[in-house]
Structure 1
Amino acid sequence: MANDGFDFSPGAQIPLQGSGGQAVATNALASAAYRDSDVTEILKANSDWHKSEVKPGQSKLFKSDYFKPNLGEAFSRAVQERMLGGGRAALIQSFGSDPQTVVEHCLSATRLRKARDSKLTLITVVFGVVFLPGLLLWVLAFRLRDFLNKSKDKFFQALGGVLLVALGAAAAFFLITMPLTGFLALYLRAAAIAPLIGWLLAKRVAEASVKDLRARWEGLLSGGGVSAKIPEAVPKNPNETAREALRQGLEKLSAEQQSNSVFYAGPKGILGMGTRWGSWQLAEELTPQDPSKEIHQFRSWDVVRAIHDQLKMLERGPLNTGGFPTPSVKHWIVSPVGENAGSVSRPEGEDVATFQIKPHEIQRICNHQQFGSGDRHYLGVQFTLWDGQLVITMLITVTVLHETLRIEVTGHALGPVHGLFLTKPEAPTKTVKKAVRFWETRSISLPIVKASEVVRLALRAPLTWYPPLLDYLGGKIVLPEPFGLRHAWAAKPWGHRFMADDAMRTATPVLRVVHSATMRVLKEHGVDTERFDNRSMVLSGQVQDPSPKKADVYDA
């Protein structure tokens, strides 16, 4: 049973960096955990089929941008909760990437932020909560300035800064001319100054944190080999149940990534593999080669096994031209789900072990479940190219109905990770006019952390011990379902000329191999192959121009 509570690994292990050949896609997705962009940036990566949502905070009393998470905070929280949460729904495989590595970076980014928030919490308590009247006054001043800055009128934008300076001057005048004496006077004077001192200390902590997170963001996209450090995933003794649960969650995620069951969602194609862009059928009547003899009995599995063995030889060719890399040839069990299905569930029972459907069940489905309800068998050959940015999958299914043998080959292509995840951090700048040559402009560097960001981090820090409260106050990212890290933010490959060429060039060699293996099996079992050869010649002409189409959208 591939259920919760099953330990998929031999023991405690230190999580490793992503697998080779998939670094670009994996690192691009992982970099989102370290970003400090606005959370709504994730909406730019939505596709026609998969749309993330940014759910605003539900609190009306404390509704403020100061509790709103940035992209990295919300992404890390959403991914961890969805992929490691207790009793989570089934996940879609992330072909072309390593989801465990992405989750590990989310955990690592969360750990770094918790260390920062611990310092900010101490600063907030000492310089803010203890001197609450002054803290509230300064927060209201910053809030008023931010409100005025949102105005399109430059007068109101300037007014916000003037009011802040005026408040500072008023506070200084109040400190000097205060008529009160004794402890109350000292407390009120300290309440006016302490939040400013705390803000300066918080700014230093925030700047150090942002520089660290941005360096990791930059390193992942530059191929610098940034590793995710999550010591909490390695239990040191049997009593550390939280660490053990996290370790098993990561192992379960890795096991589900290797599952051989996938889901067909109508026009959305096979979830995780992309939409079906091409389809070719070879279907002819089974007649004996010798009319005086009957055909030697064979099953669909016999044809599939011959195709499987020959597909593994695709990397070999008569010329030394590079050609195909080593393909992944695998048997898939495909379950149909609705186009707008909100979730999926993987097969369970005695024929499933650690998310893998056992070989004898695969063979049974291949031979018997070819018509009517139930799962179907497909033989897939998959190429992961462009460092995980392009995943090409060719699926072959063999059916025998009455006296007709049908072999269908379909092409699926999963495009690159959306460009949003490939953007590197940029230092904030502002374009201003030159003082003397006023007709010319120049760029000036701005502080890496704005004053309002320091306030936001300081106010959020004491509440990070209970993330659901921050979700309630500031909002969160709602991930598209059924969820898989890779296909949720994949772009179409047809906008990239070379990727499109690679996808379409794969069809012809695969069809040739399928035809060759099928003819060999038919001849061995005494089948007349003349009609199949003729049909193959027709297909050979059609595949000369395998232009991509919406093969799953039927015009009916």
Structure 2
Amino acid sequence: MAGFDDGAGAYDFSPGAQIPLTGSGGQTAPTQALASAAYRDGPVTDLTAANENAKVSAPRFSLFEPNLGEAFARAVQTRMLGAGRKPLIQSFGCEPQTVVEHCLAANRIRRERDIRLTAVMVVFGLLFLPGVLLWLGGFQLRRTLAGAQDKSSGLLGAVAIAALGVLAVIFVVMLPFTGFWGIYLRVMLVAPVVGWLLAKRICERYAKDLRSRWAGLLSGGGIGAKIPEAVPHAPGDAGAETIRLNLAKLAAEQRSNLVFYAGPKGILGMGTRWGSWQLAEELVPAEPGSEINPFRSWDVARAIHDRLRLLERTPVHTGGFPAPVVRHWVVAPIGEGAGEVSRPDGQEVEAYSFKDFEVQRICNEQQFGSGNRHYLGVQFILWDGQLVLTMLVNVTLLHHTLRIEVTGHALGPVHPAFFGKPSPRKKTVSKSVRFWETKDIELPLIEAKEVVRLAARAPLTWFPPVLDFLGGKLSLPEPFGLRHVWADKPWRHRFMADDALRTATPVLRAVHAAVLKVLQENGVDTEKFGARSLALSGQVQAAEPGQPDLYNL
């Protein structure tokens, strides 16, 4: 991949000036589900239910709190494209760039809506500020009594709003002032209502657009994300250039061959380790008095690599395995509670990936003590990306002992909270004449309190830190990766669990066959290795998911 250093320490991972492609082909179910969150409405607390480590700061004024789509899109854009961004975890079975593009598109749609709402607030709000503050105070009181965005305020809240309306009418009718101030004070209470009606039409128009995109993504189609702000329009367009470079960095991080092992959390992005099988025997010459031909760990790893690439072939015409992804990984250890990870740099690294010669060196030399380790992985992305199965193979040569360890990792589907489709707003009532029958009445997409919330937030969207201070914001779990932080356990789905367990047997046998072939070619007695391989082959047929990383200590 081409790249250059701009002299300020920033490396351009992209091949040059280009227009970012939106809506890449072959979107998977997790990609579409996560992207749909950028267009959603509803309470942001749904995200904390999907991951308890996602925190939502309490709003100082509930009138300014964001909904789920606003909080998610802004948090993802800031985390993945913002200045001073931290390294990200790979999203296997997902296309993170597509999700980020949809977040940018959703923020652009909301910005267009807020421009119109800001104009309404200036005309009907700023010119009649006392009246607007009075109405906003009433709605804030109602939300405070409700206690949450999606709850009713109850009898006390309804009485408060009704009392405010009655006082407004009395004030308009019995106002003691005359002349200009009398007219102004009367209009001051009426103008916000007129502005609210205009804001309601604007909000409903954009709500239909956002909900159609939300439903389209979950239906397998939808409108592609358009992000013109990521295309520089002039040489000095620093904002667009920053977005373009950060999108290129995101793609480079997704292709990185470095992953992180976080103890009981497993390998971040690949899931927890559910099974482990070890073949460890002494290297003895096949012929007494002869010598073993010298070989290295990399020779064994390469033989296993070639054998694993043939897993999709079968002597019987059946569906079998799909084409696997076989790749050499460098695994770095981090603490279970680590708040961030770091990407390597130096001559042995290019575009966040270790070069081939460094991968070979780690495989041959870093097998004991501190440092990164080499693993050979075969990965299956199943269920339209909902299930990611990874079998990792580690080769260790210590003294006269060769150890081949095969471990299974499973990353489950995206949390069900991301798959809820927009439901039409309606209520069922009894017919006036045939009272024993019912009918459905369509309700407006936007409630009165939601119009007030959007109109109150609109002028402050130009000052995001102020809006975050007043309304609160979403803090994403760290170390962050779009896929693994929202993943559910695969063992609750019967067929997904079966797929994970069935993968272990053929992979283990293919690994052992490749190892025995290498040993035979280099003059090693394979009797003990073969016996141990047969024992493991029988053991793996009764594979059950466990927690090997806990060690029960």
Q: Please tell me the TM-score bracket, short chain as reference.
A: over 0.9
In the alignment, which residue of structure 2 is the partner of 1:374? 371
Matched-pair contact (CA < 8 Å) for 2:62–2:144: no
In the alignment, which residue of structure 2 is the partner of 1:414? 411
- Structure 1 residue 190 corresponds to structure 2 residue 187: yes
Q: 1:348 aligns to what SS in structure 2?
A: coil
Alpha-carbon distance in structure 1 between the residues aligned to 2:154 and 2:431: 21
The one-letter code of the counterpart of 1:104 is E
Alpha-carbon distance in structure 2 between the residues aligned to 1:89 and 1:428: 40
Structure 2 counterparts to residues 80-229 of structure 1, below 5 A: 80-148=77-145, 157-158=154-155, 160-229=157-226
Matched-pair contact (CA < 8 Å) for 2:71–2:474: yes
Matched-pair contact (CA < 8 Å) for 1:2–1:353: no
Offset, 1:528: 0.7
Residue of structure 2 aligned with 1:41, choices 42, 46, 60? 46
Q: 1:15 aligns to what SS in structure 2?
A: coil
In the alignment, which residue of structure 1 is the partner of 2:266? 269
Q: 2:280 aligns to what SS in structure 1?
A: strand
Offset, 1:334: 0.4
In the alignment, which residue of structure 1 is the partner of 2:393? 396
Q: 1:209 to 1:272 in 2, by over 3 A?
A: same
The one-letter code of the counterpart of 2:542 is D
The one-letter code of the counterpart of 2:57 is K
Matched-pair contact (CA < 8 Å) for 1:384–1:390: yes
Question: CA offsets per residue over residues 40-65 of structure 1, 9 Å max, x none?
Answer: 11111016xxx2111113xxxxx321
Matched-pair contact (CA < 8 Å) for 1:150–1:157: no
Alpha-carbon distance in structure 2 between the residues aligned to 1:527 and 1:373: 30
Offset, 1:346: 1.6
Matched-pair contact (CA < 8 Å) for 1:276–1:412: yes
Matched-pair contact (CA < 8 Å) for 2:4–2:13: no
Offset, 1:438: 7.6
Q: 2:360 aligns to what SS in structure 1?
A: helix
Residue of structure 2 aligned with 1:15, choices 17, 20, 24? 20
Residue of structure 2 aligned with 1:27, choices 21, 25, 32? 32
Q: 1:518 to 1:18 in 2, by over 3 A?
A: farther
In the alignment, which residue of structure 2 is the partner of 1:56? 58
Residue of structure 2 aligned with 1:308, choices 305, 309, 314? 305
TM-score scaled by structure 1? Answer: 0.94
Q: Runs of 5+ in structure 2 lacking a partner? A: none
Alpha-carbon distance in structure 1 between the residues aligned to 2:384 and 2:317: 23
Matched-pair contact (CA < 8 Å) for 2:396–2:404: yes
Matched-pair contact (CA < 8 Å) for 1:141–1:164: yes
Matched-pair contact (CA < 8 Å) for 1:259–1:355: yes
- Structure 1 residue 66 corresponds to structure 2 residue 63: yes
In the alignment, which residue of structure 2 is the partner of 1:60? none
Alpha-carbon distance in structure 2 between the residues aligned to 1:82 and 1:334: 24
Q: 1:277 aligns to what SS in structure 2?
A: strand
Alpha-carbon distance in structure 1 between the residues aligned to 2:242 and 2:294: 52
Q: Runs of 5+ in structure 1 lacking a partner? A: 58-62
Matched-pair contact (CA < 8 Å) for 1:145–1:164: yes
The one-letter code of the counterpart of 2:63 is Y
Q: 1:387 to 1:156 in 2, by over 3 A?
A: closer
Q: 1:282 to 1:103 in 2, by over 3 A?
A: same
Q: In percent, how many aligned pairs have the same letter?
A: 64
Question: CA offsets per residue over residues 3-48 of structure 1, 9 Å max, x none?
Answer: 961111122333334555552110101111111110111111016x
Question: CA offsets per residue over residues 157-207 of structure 1, 9 Å max, x none?
Answer: 345445544544543443344342322122212212111110000000111
Q: 1:11 to 1:156 in 2, by over 3 A?
A: closer
Offset, 1:85: 1.7
Offset, 1:83: 0.8
Offset, 1:118: 0.3
Q: 1:236 to 1:155 in 2, by over 3 A?
A: closer
Offset, 1:437: 8.1
Q: 1:307 to 1:257 in 2, by over 3 A?
A: same
TM-score scaled by structure 2? Answer: 0.94
The one-letter code of the counterpart of 1:316 is R
Instruction: State which drifts further: 12-21 or 379-388.
Output: 12-21
Matched-pair contact (CA < 8 Å) for 2:215–2:222: no
Q: 2:139 aligns to what SS in structure 1?
A: helix
- Structure 1 residue 523 corresponds to structure 2 residue 520: yes
Matched-pair contact (CA < 8 Å) for 1:78–1:479: yes
Matched-pair contact (CA < 8 Å) for 2:213–2:222: no
In the alignment, which residue of structure 1 is the partner of 2:241? 244
Matched-pair contact (CA < 8 Å) for 2:142–2:153: no
Q: 2:346 aligns to what SS in structure 1?
A: coil
The one-letter code of the counterpart of 1:531 is K
In the alignment, which residue of structure 2 is the partner of 1:423? 420
Alpha-carbon distance in structure 2 between the residues aligned to 1:507 and 1:22: 27
Q: How much is the aligned-residue C-alpha RMSD, in angstroms? A: 2.2
The one-letter code of the counterpart of 1:244 is E
Alpha-carbon distance in structure 2 between the residues aligned to 1:279 and 1:167: 68
Aligned pairs, number: 546
The one-letter code of the counterpart of 1:52 is A
Alpha-carbon distance in structure 2 between the residues aligned to 1:414 and 1:124: 47
In the alignment, which residue of structure 1 is the partner of 2:505? 508
Matched-pair contact (CA < 8 Å) for 2:63–2:143: no
Greater relative CO (CA pairs within 8 A, separation 6+): 1
Offset, 1:430: 4.0
The one-letter code of the counterpart of 2:18 is Q
Q: 1:168 to 1:354 in 2, by over 3 A?
A: same
Matched-pair contact (CA < 8 Å) for 2:143–2:153: no
